[in-house]
Amino acid sequence: MQLQTFQNPEQLATHTANYIIDLVKNKPTATLILTSGDTPVLTYKKIVELAQPADFKQVTIVGLDEWVGIPASSEGSCRYIVEENLLKPLGLNPTQYTFFDSMTSDLASECKRVDELLFSKGGADLIIVGVGVNGHIGLNEPGYSFDNYCHVSELAEVTISIGQKYFKENTPLTQGITIGLKHLLEAKVAILIATGERKAEILKQTIETEPSVELPSTVFKVHQNSFVWIDEAAAQLL
């Protein structure tokens, strides 16, 4: 795990965007697993600003997770956030990307569908994630195995509470459908980005704790080619 601190979110986003752009230039058919949330949105906007859209015409994009029972049209869905801030501005063809269908009555089959897509690509070339205040990665909550591929998770109370910020009104959240940590471990590059002082404590725990399923973010210590990129506010306890 390689830790690097940046002065502010803008600097971090520019660095991350350039890294992804360079990766795609070197492998135009790259498979990227992308997250939603507040932190990556600035990175996606930087990619749109700095990239040549033609460079992304052969990539495959896979969404990291979704809230079960929340439609893709919701402003709080992973698909909505990634589409509106990256995929549509770049002009990607919808055939290039896939997100979990969180409204399906057969979540197991949906997990299998996304697993098989990633297996067919030889795994992801890059996965980018944020981190929850309880250390969750994607919607892999504490206690879920590092050996899981795509799966359904029961959401922690803190995740349900903080998740409300993505919605205009109170929204019932109970489960997530998510890329498992085994896919993260099998990705060629894994990147965690975090900004702001509210992430400082969990980053301190992540850096100081031995790898454990009780703190999913410690999976980055197990990955052979992982990066943790944070701003100074998030690094204040390190």
Residue 111 — pLDDT band, cuts 50, 70, 90? very high
Give CA separation, 208 vs 76, 173, 215, in Å.
32, 31, 11
Could you tell me the strand order of the sheet in which 226-231 lies? 2-6, 226-231, 190-194, 126-129, 31-34, 60-63, 97-98
Answer yes or no: is pLDDT of 168 > 90.
no
- Which fold does the domain 2-231 belong to in CATH? Rossmann fold (3.40.50)
How deeply is 54 buried, as exposed, middle or buried, from its count of CB atoms within 10 A (0-12, 13-18, 19+)?
A: exposed
- Give me the catalytic one of 101, 110, 125, 136: 136
Contacts of 170 (CB under 8 A, 6+ apart): 164
Q: 231: which strand partners?
A: 6
* The predicted structure's pLDDT at residue 171: 87
- Give me the catalytic one of 134, 183, 223, 231: 134
Answer yes or no: is pLDDT of 145 > 90.
yes
Q: Tell me the percentage of the chain whose pLDDT exceeds 90.
A: 95
pLDDT digits (tens, 9 = 90+) for 63-109: 999 999 999 999 999 999 999 999 999 999 999 999 999 999 999 99
Task: Give the pLDDT mean for 1-18.
Answer: 98
Residue 135 — pLDDT band, cuts 50, 70, 90? very high
Residue 166 — pLDDT band, cuts 50, 70, 90? confident
Segment (H or E) for 194: strand 190-194
Contacts of 126 (CB under 8 A, 6+ apart): 20, 23, 30, 31, 32, 33, 187, 188, 189, 190, 191
Active site residue 141: yes
Answer yes or no: is pLDDT of 37 > 90.
no
Answer yes or no: is pLDDT of 222 > 90.
yes
- Give me the catalytic one of 83, 101, 125, 141: 141
Q: Tell me the percentage of the chain whose pLDDT exceeds 70.
A: 100
Active site residue 101: no
Task: Give the pLDDT mean for 188-214.
Answer: 97
pLDDT digits (tens, 9 = 90+) for 42-75: 999 999 999 999 999 999 999 999 999 999 999 9
Active site residue 136: yes
* Average confidence score pLDDT of the chain: 97
- Give me the catalytic one of 65, 83, 101, 125: 65
Active site residue 183: no
* The predicted structure's pLDDT at residue 38: 84
Provide the 3-class DSSP secondary structure of residue 196: coil
